[in-house]
A and B are shown apart, each in its own frame.
Chain A
Amino acid sequence: MAKRGTMGRHGEKKESLEPDVGWFSLNPTCSRRQTLKWGGLSVIGISVLGPVLAQGATRPLIIMEPALGLVVADPMKCVGCGRCELACTEFNDGKAAPAMSRIKVGRNLHFGPDGVSAWREGQGNWGNGLVVQDLCKQCPHPVPCANICPEDAIVLAPSGNARMVDPDKCTGCKICLRACPWEMISFDPDSRKATKCHLCNGKPKCVAACPAQSLSYVPWRDLTARVPPRLKNTVQLPSERSVACRQCHLPGQTKNVSQGIEMFQGWVKGGRPLSAREFGFKWIDLAGSILLPLAVVSVVAHAVLRKVVKR
């Protein structure tokens, strides 16, 4: 309502202004009254835009299938030659540009309490002098870069489920560079688009180029399950976003029979069925918890009846 009202007034002002000042004139004159009016209108306009823009913050989480593989490095074997960086940019960008390579090899040098002076922070306060290799971890959902991207430009690669930047959608806003907790998104200064490791269609060129067999392409496995659970839940999502999590991460249980039927219909009709993860088949437990005691009771009744009739 408020938005529509301002727009209307906006239109009127536009008309009344036109005789006085050319709308697009390079050197417009502006009276004090006009300054106040336009200034006030723009304040109102921006404050109305606020909630409209804020709607973006409540959009649902993007759920992505886990990647099928990722590249891992063995730092004990790496000699720091940087051929992987060359191979990466040569294959993906057609140029030798290690600075924007998706695999980032560097030396963690002793450069004072702030760590390495370049883009990477040191391990702890003091660099340890080791060669470090960093690669996209192909995060399971919530994928930080995919969730933050305002253009939904980070998509699943057709093979291997790697998270890749769709260059047609990317506008080069660099917000994913900030969202990635590992700082693994690269930016191509020539095309002005973000880019990241997409596992080269399942045949990573860095792995092929490594002369020391330090890099290997391994199946992606969620090892976070092996980490002992934390005492306190440190990750706090805003409640409106955590709704999306609770839909999938139920304590293992289910909703009802109709969903099962829906899923079965999905199978019969073909196409993508209702995600089975959305429910855990509680009705099976219900049926079992009725039938099992019933079986025990009838068996006992059989035995008792046998004894009674024998007398």
Chain B
Amino acid sequence: MKRIYLHPLPLRIWHWVNALLVILLIITGIQLRISGVPSLGPRHPALWVHKYAGWAMAASCVFWIVYSLVSRNLSRQYAVRRRDLKGIFRQAKFYLISIFQGEENPFRATPEEKFNPLQKLAYGAIMCIFTPILVVTGLLFNDILFFRKYILLWDVVGALNAIHVMGAYVFALYLVVHIYMATLGRTASSHLKAMIVGYEEEADEPGEEVGQGIS
């Protein structure tokens, strides 16, 4: 068994703060969506928890983008290269078929290339498209005076609401798959441990339990 240092400390801290925020936002968001904001009343804790967790989420999103740009993570880890295009099908075939046949994950994570092509796509879409969309539409709900008149003028409150909720459902779908795939490591908790300590434990010789990427 060998240990690979995959996740640097700032990213690990960011990941778990972000996870906490996402859980808070999803719980309060479901609450707000089911009962409707007007019937909850203006003093309901779900409202302000969602609001301030949302602001924190905005900060977290900005941090991730700045960190990924400065540390060149975005270009090193997330850029989809030519060989990744083939890898997409290989990886998908692995998760859909070969994993049941006991085959080994075709992708091995290294510090230089942490993510398999599917992970690149999923993480890239979530962090570069869906989280910013959720954050921006959420911020626009904050009744900021500058945007307020345009929101009223163009009558886009309902459209913003729709985009926000749609984004939230996509995020929730992603979360289900993410949590499941996090258990597909060498052991069920090895990816989780790696996200806490930073070191991923991997099988050395083929034939032992296989390490399979999170996606």
Contact = CB atoms under 8 A, between A and B. Distances in A.
Q: Do A and B bind each other?
A: yes
Given A275-B155, A281-B161, A299 B176 contact: yes
Contact of B159 (A66, A251, A276, A309): A276
A278 B42 CA distance: 22
B169 interface: yes
Contacts of B145: 219
B100 A280 contact: no
A15 B107 CA distance: 103
Q: Among A68, A281, A287, A291, find the residue whose CB has the most chain B CB atoms closer than 10 A.
A: A281
Contacts of B41: 228-229
A168 B143 CA distance: 35
Interface string A270-311: 001101111111001101100110011001001101100110
B42 A251 contact: no
Contacts of B155: 272-273, 275-277
A288 B169 contact: yes
Interface stretch (B31-39, B56-64, B81-89, B129-137): B31-39
Given A281-B165, A292-B172, A303 B180 contact: yes
Contacts of B66: none
A221 interface: yes
B101 interface: yes
Contacts of B161: 276, 280-281
Interface in A219-237: 219, 221, 225-226, 228-229
Nearest to A291: B173
A252 B165 contact: no
Given A288-B172, A296-B176, A277 B157 contact: yes
B33 A309 contact: no
Interface residues of A, number: 39
A124 to B, nearest CB: 29
Nearest to A221: B143
A256 interface: no
B156 interface: yes
Given A219-B145, A292-B173, A306 B99 contact: yes
B37 A252 contact: yes
B169 A284 contact: yes
A253 interface: yes
Contact of B165 (A219, A284, A292, A310): A284
Nearest to B39: A251
A287 B169 contact: yes
Contacts of A281: 158, 161-162, 165
Contact of A253 (B36, B100, B102, B169): B36
A-B CB proximity, top 3 nearest: A276-B158, A252-B36, A288-B169
24 contacts: A68-B149, A225-B42, A226-B42, A229-B41, A251-B38, A252-B37, A275-B155, A276-B157, A276-B161, A277-B158, A281-B161, A281-B162, A284-B162, A284-B166, A284-B169, A288-B169, A292-B173, A295-B176, A296-B176, A299-B176, A299-B180, A303-B180, A306-B100, A309-B101
